[in-house]
Amino acid sequence: MNPFRQEGFRKLFHALSAGYALLYFLAGRTATVWILGAGVLAAAIVEAVRLRNPALNQRLIARFGGIHREKEIDRPSGIFWTLAGCFATALFVPAPDIVLAAMLYLTIGDGLAGFVGRTWGRLRVGGKSVEGSLACFLGCWAVGTLVLAPSFGRPEALWGAMLATILEALDIPPDDNFTLPLFSGLGLWMLRIF
């Protein structure tokens, strides 16, 4: 599969994480924490079994048609970290608009960063591209402008986009799918209360 198509499929699958934000929006914090918590537990069990069973691991990697990263062959997948990051964000960030923005930073900002960076990125800083980071920033700024209340006249949309872009670029362990929504959500919450 060509890299453009592979990254497109990966980002399309990654976009399903917008469902976590939709769940939060429709069902509220308590239900989302319980549902995503159960999902994290189930995903952790699947990952543990997959990583301890090479034959099963190979079947699952082959079944999902190359949407995995090489590092995910012998480590927990981005699916697990995305679910865990959205769960932790819903659990620890008390402001609903910030939770939604942080989850959508992951879906939109991180998705754009990976797609643009791998497809058109030429200028590299470390392992990331400037083009991907710019796409992340613009996507997160748009999310913040639409989701954070009030959307205009406050610096939260700009600060949130900058924070999410920095977190995506730094790729802080264990995985940016976990740290990006959680730390951007906590950072925005701290900005708001101080």
Query: Per-residue pLDDT tens for 49-60?
Result: 999 999 998 888
pLDDT at site 24: 98
As a whole number, mean pLDDT of residues 146-153 equals: 76
pLDDT at 173 over 80: yes
- For residues 130 and 123, is the Cβ–Cβ distance under 8 A? yes
pLDDT at site 121: 78
Provide DSSP, 106-170. IIIIIHHHHHHHHHH--SEETTEEHHHHHHHHHHHHHHHHHHSSS-SSSTHHHHHHHHHHHHHHH
Q: Which residue has the higher pLDDT, 67 or 80?
A: 80
pLDDT at site 144: 94
Provide DSSP, 8-39. HHHHHHHHTTHHHHHHHHHH-HHHHHHHHHHH
Give residue 59's Cα distance to chain centre.
25
pLDDT at 9 over 70: no
Query: What does the pLDDT look like over 25-42, one tens digit per residue?
Result: 999 999 999 999 999 999
Contacts of 176 (CB under 8 A, 6+ apart): 81, 110, 167, 168, 170
Across all residues in the chain, what is the average pLDDT? 89
